Structure 1
Amino acid sequence: MEVKCDNRQTLSYLWLLTGGHFLSDFYANFLPALLPVVISNLGISLTVSGLLVMVFAITSSMLQPVFGYFVDKSGYTWLILTTLPISAVFICFGALSSTPVMLFSSVALAGLATSLFHPLGSSLIGRTTNHSNKSISMSIFVGGGNLGYALAPVIVIYLIASYGIEYLPWLVLPSIVITTAYYITGLHKVNLTINRESFTNDERWYKSKSIIKLNLVMALRSWPQVAIPTFLPVMLSLQGYEPTLAGNMLTIFLLSGAIGGLIGGYCGDKFGYKNCIIGALIFGLIPTYMFLSTEGLHWIIWISLGLCGAALQSMVPSSIIWAQHIMPKNAAMASGMMLGLSFGLGGVGTAVTGILADLIGLKLALLATLVPLIISIPIAFSIPVNEHHLVNTKSC
């Protein structure tokens, strides 16, 4: 069944998908807030905690292009009804795991549901919005995820500190509410298969130097973006600070990222996607270094933290649309690469940071994440901007 969208329905789908992205990324960012608790309860090391982050990064992020290819080819939109509840149940109940094996298994299953939502959601944004509004719609969609990602640590830390970790499963309820809204509005029936014949062409990602380079740039950028919020609560805990401080700092970092994503979407349209990404990479070096090298908790730390989060996240909308320019007939797969694969590779880098932290100390290990940012700049310069043109598709 194919759903016909009028303007009001198009707007409702945009906000429902943005709300779903908010929840998907909300559940996806529980780990930083949970790490100090599970390290204490299960007695795991920083290396093992880094591996836990890597497992979640692989299942929730690196598999997104695979799910994106599947979505492009099959058009199984009804799977949107399974993503949020599965993610919520396994991450919330997984926090109560009594063994590392249970914890790793729960985190992996929650990650798979997260990995499916992102290419599905971004494809639905493309199908339910007009061509002239795709950039702003994508920025709103990405911004919703950024906001959920930003608020997760402070909410989870507050809930655990005030009521105990056993109350975490109550956070499953919002996923059920918005999934019900998806079903009632018929979002799960939107047709995604109109370009099925496009899979007979020779448009393969591994033959495009541009998409490989863009993935590499975004992966290197993701390394500090994943490592800093992952290990910030642990670093502050080791320094003797209260957990609420970690929650506040994570919120500043991630909420600034949400604002940066919206600004980056505007700048990408106005100045070009490549210029936006290169500018953000160069600018981001300064506040990232200032935050990681400055001692104490005075105003320079807080401002640097916010600017760091904004700069690192501002590149995401431009990277998605640029990737869709490069792979116009495989939009879900391209989106999965930018929203998932590159972020997942950053999670692998976070595991390396965890290993370095056990060897040289956590603060120095985090400072070393500046190196990937520096390496990414000349790679971004080398990517051409006119490989393909974005195809115009009618909504629904």
Structure 2
Amino acid sequence: MICRVRSSGHGLSDVNKPIILSEDVNAVPIVVEGEAAVKAQPAGPAMMVLGALSVSHCLNDIMQSLIFAIYPILKENYALDFTQIGLITLAFMFTSSLLQPLVGLYTDRNPKPFSLALGMGFTFIGMLLFSVAHVYGVILIAAGLVGMGSAIFHPEASRVARAASGGRFGFAQSVFQVGGNFGSALGPVLAALIVVPLGQGAISLFSLIAAAAMFILWRIGIWYKPRIMPRVAKKAAREAIHLSSRRVNFALVVLMVLLFSKAFYLSSISSYYTLYLIHKFDVSTQTAQIYLFVFLASSAVGTFIGGPLGDRFGRKYVIWFSILGALPFTLALPYAGLVGTLMLSILIGLVIASAMPAIIVYAQELMPHRFGMVSGLFFGLVFGIGGIGAAVLGYVADRAGIDFVYQVCAFLPAIGLLAVFLPRLKYRAA
């Protein structure tokens, strides 16, 4: 049986046509074994699921960002050097980056509706270990467990978001991802308010966040289980788009390069923006942290609007605009005053962050039989590139100065020109 989503007649015709005449609209046929196909679900419950996924993503990323926020405490308590701190980051990045596409590939073939709650269980254990760890090796294990929880969470949660999208795939990805943005912004704030004054043992309080997320994700698993398609027809999915395997692979490479430019530039902001502001404008640490929070908040807003814009105008155009469109602002940033820097950082966050939902959904549409693997690959790349970017830019800053870092990184959005090589996705009727 071939399932299609039909137009509702409420302004979503560009998204839900069974025969796609414009780009970036996913109507890939899905083969369901047996007689019963999964019926369209009411918008209310689906929106509740999207909201629950976004909240879970927020809780997950709060705990992720907490790891980096407590580095000063760990460094002071255990006399760690920068190499040992870097190995903690490596332990987290290794499991979170490299395992994500493998987890996604496995769940593509063997869907596990309750794997989201299981993954959060690893994070729960990791948080408890962080609170009691007094040996460096245990700290590394704790970081690896949190990374493993993240690796299990992201690809499958992205798939569930698509299942709850009602055909608005970009919107669903935006709602899902914006929770992670806010979580990343809140993590350092909560660390400053809770862990810094109370000490390392207070990290155990964040295990309660993981427990709450486990409960939410278990309920999501109950909703998702009856909606799992037992088998996706790989051949039907490939025949649905007018692209050869070679062109699909080339497009994926282009998307990865575009993602590199976005993630590497954002790494320069998230890792060194406060130091840049303190160095250049002699502001206080608290003021610099507020500026960083404003940037992260603007990025969250950009993430939220990027998906719906892709649904409305086409994902290729949003990718083009969101990466290349940030270029004038990034070029001006190194030469702006304090107020100008604040305004430019807001514009950069709004524009460049809008690319991520469009990139994820576009990649899923290139490989509709591998939603989990593709989602895990691209989320994993964000983690990996961010970690590598922080290390490389730190080395450059030590040698040439923090000002030079922002002058060089200002040209990264120019890589957005490569979006011209992304193909127009057109589907043939099944």
> TM-score of the superposition, structure 1-length normalised?
0.84
- TM-superposition CA deviations, 1:343-365 (whole Å, max 9, x none): 42232222222222333334433
| 1:262 matches 2:304 | yes
Contact 2:56 2:217 in 1 (8 A): no
Q: Separation in 2 of the partners of 1:360 and 1:229?
A: 19
Q: Separation in 1 of the partners of 2:122 and 2:256?
A: 28
Matched with 1:158 is 193
Pick from 55, 79, 82 the counterpart of residue 19 of structure 1: 55
Matched with 1:82 is 118
| CA RMSD after TM alignment | 3.4
Report the Cα offset of residue 322 of structure 1. 0.9
Between stretches 105-114 and 89-98, larger displacement belongs to: 89-98
Q: CA separation of 1:369/1:107 partners in 2, compared to 1, >3 Å: closer, same or farther?
A: farther
Report the Cα offset of residue 111 of structure 1. 0.9
- TM-superposition CA deviations, 1:56-108 (whole Å, max 9, x none): 33422343222111111110121111222422442564376445544333222
Letter in 2 for 1:249: Y
Q: CA separation of 1:206/1:302 partners in 2, compared to 1, >3 Å: closer, same or farther?
A: same
Q: CA separation of 1:154/1:303 partners in 2, compared to 1, >3 Å: closer, same or farther?
A: farther
Alignment of 1:71-220 (within 5 A): 71-91=107-127, 93-94=129-130, 97-98=133-134, 100-131=136-167, 133-184=168-219, 186-187=222-223, 189-198=225-234, 208-220=249-261
Identical columns (%): 23
Please, which runs of 5 or more residues in structure 2 have no aligned partner? 1-36, 239-243
| 1:315 matches 2:351 | no
Q: Equivalent residue of 1:329, what SS? A: coil
Alignment of 1:31-42 (within 5 A): 31-42=67-78
Matched with 2:372 is 332
Matched with 2:21 is none
Matched with 2:397 is 357
> TM-score of the superposition, structure 2-length normalised?
0.78
Alignment of 1:220-299 (within 5 A): 220-233=261-274, 243-294=285-336, 298-299=338-339
Letter in 1 for 2:292: L
Q: CA separation of 1:308/1:129 partners in 2, compared to 1, >3 Å: closer, same or farther?
A: closer
- Across the two proteins, how many residue pairs are aligned to each other? 386
Contact 1:54 1:348 in 2 (8 A): no
Please, which runs of 5 or more residues in structure 1 have no aligned partner? none
Report the Cα offset of residue 32 of structure 1. 4.0
Contact 1:47 1:354 in 2 (8 A): no
Q: CA separation of 1:172/1:273 partners in 2, compared to 1, >3 Å: closer, same or farther?
A: same
Matched with 1:302 is 342
Contact 2:108 2:373 in 1 (8 A): yes
Q: Separation in 2 of the partners of 1:56 and 1:85?
A: 16
Q: Separation in 2 of the partners of 1:95 and 1:107?
A: 12
Matched with 1:385 is 424
Larger radius of gyration: 2
Q: Separation in 1 of the partners of 2:413 and 2:172?
A: 28
Contact 2:277 2:288 in 1 (8 A): yes
